[in-house]
Structure 1
């Protein structure tokens, strides 16, 4: 039963195989550079942090872990959003409910073979991040999507079982009111900025600059307004 429900949405919602996600671009190594002229030798090294306090160092470690989680699960959240649109378009073309049910069932069976084992390898906390990002990309909770395309009974039991593993299929993403969600959005934007993930503004078109200004007024640096955003 461990790591059970990370593949729910892909199995119950997406209509076509997204395929192998694009490999993430490698982060270029920080190679020291040497500039030489007739009189001087200039040697540049990557930026390092000296004398950071324990809390800031812990923050850096936590955010590095969070980035790795985002790298693992973001492709699945994007696949869900893109294929949800295709699913709705295809369902509108079908003539009756029987054809629609058959279409969804065929998709589920094929996708289970494609994605199930990979998604089962995600950790519990990976799953928590995935549920947040699904809401960011689709504007719907995983619970609502399962309920729409399966049944309320399935969604109820899915959510009840998921809670056993500290997963809430009704998880929502609100970086404007939840500080932890803002941290998640900050690291997502970091990965966009460094071309490690394909950019998406989200279903609700998140204005990150506005979020950043709002939180900077609400949260002091002592309360760990993200280090990446300090000027």
Structure 2
């Protein structure tokens, strides 16, 4: 206490802003680094894909056919995802069983009205891809979704019909097994 010590705190320097020009209207975030304002912006993630090399023309044709089929049914899978999520939100808010059944019927009617013609025109392969993509988007198999919304008997009936034409409503999506489909989806621009 006898000796006085002189302390020096940090000195405040006003930030140096970049000079604005005539057409500078883009607003971006900046960071103050020792009094110098450094502008920065976050960029979207960039995927880099190598050109795929096919051994035979048949492999190329098969991949192009798969690409066509995936791109054709992907909008249906995305719609199913959005509609199913909305249905789940509505079912949580509906207190009575009667209201829940009415919501399920309304959802079923909406899907049938919207895609009745288009889904009927899908090929067997496109239908198989659609069931896998629905599992990818929703996180549940098509069989589980039908069983929850329509009941066990309806799901069993649909599964029998699907098995007759070569489908399996219980088929799941695996990134490792379906890596070609995953590569097509990632490079297609659906998730930009």
Instruction: Work out whether residues 91 and 100 of structure 2, in 8 Å CA contact, stay in contact via their aligned partners in 1.
Output: yes
Measure how far apart 1:80 and its partner are: 1.0
Counterparts of 1:183-222 in structure 2 under 5 Å? Answer: 183-192=180-189, 198-199=190-191
Instruction: Work out whether residues 63 and 187 of structure 1, in 8 Å CA contact, stay in contact via their aligned partners in 2.
Output: no
Measure how far apart 1:118 and its partner are: 1.1
State the distance in 1 between where 2:56 and 2:185 align.
19
**Deviation by residue 1:30-56 (Cα, 9 ceiling, x = unmatched):** xxxxxxxxxxxxxxxxxxxxxx88x43
State the distance in 1 between where 2:102 and 2:186 align.
39
Instruction: Work out whether residues 73 and 126 of structure 1, in 8 Å CA contact, stay in contact via their aligned partners in 2.
Output: yes
Structure with larger RCO (C-alpha < 8 A, sep 6+) = 1
State the distance in 1 between where 2:187 and 2:106 align.
38
Instruction: Work out whether residues 141 and 171 of structure 2, in 8 Å CA contact, stay in contact via their aligned partners in 1.
Output: yes
Instruction: Work out whether residues 67 and 191 of structure 1, in 8 Å CA contact, stay in contact via their aligned partners in 2.
Output: no
State the distance in 1 between where 2:80 and 2:110 align.
15
TM-score normalised over the length of structure 1:
0.57
| Runs of 5+ unmatched residues, structure 2 | 1-52
TM-score normalised over the length of structure 2:
0.68
RMSD: 1.7
State the distance in 1 between where 2:107 and 2:144 align.
19
Deviating beyond 4 angstroms after TM superposition, the runs of 4 or more aligned structure 1 residues are none
State the distance in 1 between where 2:78 and 2:110 align.
19
Instruction: Work out whether residues 90 and 103 of structure 2, in 8 Å CA contact, stay in contact via their aligned partners in 1.
Output: no
Measure how far apart 1:151 and its partner are: 0.7
Counterparts of 1:160-199 in structure 2 under 5 Å? Answer: 160-176=160-176, 178=177, 181-192=178-189, 198-199=190-191
Measure how far apart 1:104 and its partner are: 1.3
Measure how far apart 1:182 and its partner are: 1.1
After superposition, the Cα gap between the structure-2 partners of 1:158 and 1:125, relative to the gap in structure 1 and judged at 3 Å, is same
Could you say which structure has the larger radius of gyration?
2
* Count of equivalent residues: 140
| Runs of 5+ unmatched residues, structure 1 | 1-51, 193-197, 201-231
Measure how far apart 1:116 and its partner are: 1.0
